[in-house]
Amino acid sequence: MKDSIVFIAPNTHIAVLAQSAVSQLKLNIPVIEAYDYKAIEALRKFPSCHIAISRGGTANYLKGVKGLTVVDLTASFFDIQKSLNELIAKGCRKIAVVSQDNVIGPTPAEFAINDIEVELHPCSNTEEIMNTVNSCIKDGADGIVGCVVAIETARQYAVEISPVEVDFFSVKKGILQALELEKNLDNQERTIDRLESLLNNIEEGVVIFDSENTPILYNEYAGRIMRPEPIDRWYKVLENEINSSSDTSRVITLNQNKILIRVISLAHDSHEDKVVILQDSTAIEETAKNIKISSYEKGLYARHNFNDIIFSCPAMEDTVSLAKRFANSDSTVMIFGETGAGKEGFAQSIHNSSPRANKPFVSVNCASLPQGLVASELFGYVEGAFTGARRNGKKGLFELAQGGSIFLDEITEIPLEVQSQFLRVIQEREIMRIGDDRIIPLDIRIICATNKDILTLCEEGKFRYDLYYRLNVLSLSIPPLRERGDDIIIMFRAFIAEFCKKKPDDIFIDDDVQKMLLNYNWPGNVRELRNVAEALSFFGSEIKKQNVERILHRNITGMSANHNSSSSIFRDDLTMEELEKYYYKYMLARHNNTEIAKLAGISRSTLWKKLKQLELSN
């Protein structure tokens, strides 16, 4: 900025030095000669000036100009020593050094040079300088060293005088300080501009009140919330909340609007400012709605909660009660249970009852992840990380769960080579995308599930002990359906009612049917019970024994009969692809992907491609 720095010399000697220094440094800094209040008049010719360089009383006068920063030219020890030596050479025995405190420093002092007494008297204004000189001479001083005012006052007496003059290096040092100060001020101005831009672009009202309850900083959003109240009434309107002892957010009514308010204290020196943060509740609700809609669109949400779990038996009552307690924690949960027992339903319920309920819920079946791509699916990757990688990279499943919960079903199917990376995620709560060198911190809750004995797998070297102990912090075991007694009838009735679109009381189940349902082993647990109910719902709301027998008999013998009977599957017109489809359908009903691949003698990646080719869902 033009003329942002101006050098104001209180005398000709300093002006000459300043011109020389400016010339040597190749700067375009104006140098003007003016003294005391006349310096302020001279400065008005430079409206862009925000830094002035001067000395003594003139510098003090300039400090009264609003928005102006003043760099003081101080006298060095050698400047004072030079003047003292001059008076000592003239025979002075007691010398007083009198000048502005911004020239010789703020601390009075007395010392001796050989047998010469020297007194240092810093003063704050012209009158004090004159009085000090008079007093020192009356006390026997025969030499005065000081500023212009001190020298002119001493001329009235028969004493030796010597002005304290700054040298070229002191003047140059002052100019360099002004340049550094200008650089810092520019940085501060840019920071303030950014801060103001930030404050005016956030969807929160921010008001800072100083210790005198005056709003010293506020953004446009705060102005809209406080409207139509004038700014000088803002403190009065918010006084009760500002002085409240509570430091938590709370809802208040302001101009017939519901506003969320939070007050933060900022202590500095002996004062305390108050930062008031205001949020319109309508905007908060809209934001929460958008987040929820976004999660639903991506499928990153939990559908079920504890109210959806149907039970009456004590074992399930204990399990649900324990799961509800787990929901209030952020620790990792391991859910044990047979296939179809409802492990994911419990995981979703835990998430929906936790503080993370409004955040994403990502469900992952580890057995369905393509072999060789498990790490990239879980941790994500950057562009060019490997052949076939997306152009802009891809977020991993852990990143998608940011702020919420991730449910890892069939956790034992994670390959050993990925388990060590997974262990780090649990320990450090951070990931690094494949091909990247940037650490991404995670804020997630991990819930895992398995239908296998993990300790046995650990003993066989198929699962890491350290990973097991990290996962099995909070343990939840879901009882199989066959051990839940009357829960079978209650759930069966509810499922039939759901499929028939009737009330549970409208469903008739006679004693023989109930006995059959209770005696059946239910190897597929709740999933199988629901499938049976769906099949029987086509016969109406009155459940008959022969229909139940037919469905249950089909479940027990259907697949094996098809497998053993060449007349039911093998026909002359079947293609090899159709035979393969029958085979993999059969296997998928009984095994997970790892087991199918092992039994079929192929790799998991080949199995994944085969299922995709046959359009079979696992």
Q: How do residues 327-349 score in pLDDT, each as one tens digit?
A: 999 999 999 999 999 999 999 99
At 465 the pLDDT is 92
In sequence order, the β-bridge partners of residue 331 are none
- 145 CB contacts (<8 Å, ≥6 apart)? 80, 83, 84, 87, 95, 96, 97, 98, 161, 162, 163, 164
pLDDT of 12 higher than 70 = yes
Q: How do residues 579-595 score in pLDDT, each as one tens digit?
A: 787 778 778 777 788 87
Is the distance from CB of 466 to CB of 423 less than 8 angstroms? Answer: yes
Alpha helices, H only, 90-233: 101-104, 126-138, 148-154, 168-199, 220-226
Mean pLDDT of 220-236: 82
Coil, helix or strand at residue 345? helix
Query: Among 106-115, 320-329, 425-434, 585-594, whose mean pLDDT is lowest?
Result: 585-594
At 273 the pLDDT is 81
Task: Round to whole Å and give the CA distance between 71 and 409.
Answer: 69
Vertex 234, ends 233 and 240: CA angle to 5°?
105
Task: Round to whole Å and give the CA distance between 536 and 500.
Answer: 10
Q: For a pLDDT cut of 70, what percent of the chain falls above it?
A: 91
Task: Round to whole Å and give the CA distance between 147 and 138.
Answer: 19
Is the distance from CB of 576 to CB of 588 less than 8 angstroms? Answer: no
Mark 360-377 as b/e (b = at least 16 C-beta within 10 Å): bbbbbbbbbbebeebbbb
Task: Round to whole Å and give the CA distance between 575 and 569.
Answer: 12
Task: Provide the CATH number for the domain formed by 77-165 in this structure.
Answer: 3.40.50.10660
Fold agreement (77-165, 299-477): yes
In sequence order, the β-bridge partners of residue 117 are 94, 112
pTM attached to this predicted model: 0.47
Structural element, H or E, at residue 579: helix 576-588
For tokens 């469905």, the residue is 551
User: Residue 344's closest CA among 381, 304, 384?
Assistant: 304
Please give the single-letter amino acid code of residue 46.
Answer: F
- 603 CB contacts (<8 Å, ≥6 apart)? 371, 597
Mark 44-58 as b/e (b = at least 16 C-beta within 10 Å): eebeebbbbbbbbbb
CA–CA distances in Å: residue 76 to residues 40, 54, 79, 167: 26, 15, 5, 9
Query: Among 228-242, 484-498, 571-585, whose mean pLDDT is lowest?
Result: 571-585
Is the distance from CB of 350 to CB of 323 less than 8 angstroms? Answer: yes
Q: How do residues 23-64 score in pLDDT, each as one tens digit?
A: 999 999 999 999 878 888 888 889 888 899 998 888 888 888
Task: Provide the CATH number for the domain formed by 200-282 in this structure.
Answer: 3.30.450.20
φ/ψ of residue 246, rounded to 5 = -75, 135
Mark 498-508 as b/e (b = at least 16 C-beta within 10 Å): ebbeeeeeebe
Q: How do residues 234-280 score in pLDDT, each as one tens digit?
A: 878 887 777 776 667 777 887 777 788 888 887 776 777 888 888 87
Locate the domains of the chain by residue range.
5-73+170-182, 77-165, 200-282, 299-477, 481-564, 567-613
CATH superfamily of 5-73+170-182: Response regulator (3.40.50.2300)
State the number of CA atoms in the 13 A half-sphere of 43 facing the CB.
32
Pairing of strands 94-100, 69-72: unpaired
Give the single-character DSSP code of 350. Answer: H
Q: Two tokens at 325?
A: 């307690």
Is the distance from CB of 376 to CB of 429 less than 8 angstroms? Answer: no
In sequence order, the β-bridge partners of residue 380 are 395
Q: Is the pLDDT higher at 266 or at 517?
A: 517
Please give the single-letter amino acid code of residue 522.
Answer: W
Options 3.40.50.620, 3.55.40.10, 3.40.50.300, 3.30.565.10; CATH for 299-477 is 3.40.50.300
pLDDT of 557 higher than 60 = no
CATH topology of domain 481-564: Helicase, Ruva Protein; domain 3 (1.10.8)
Q: How do residues 58-87 score in pLDDT, each as one tens digit?
A: 888 888 888 889 998 887 778 888 889 999
Is the distance from CB of 32 to CB of 80 less than 8 angstroms? Answer: no
Compute the 3-state secondary structure of the chain and give helix, strand, coil in percent, each to the nearest 5. 50, 20, 30
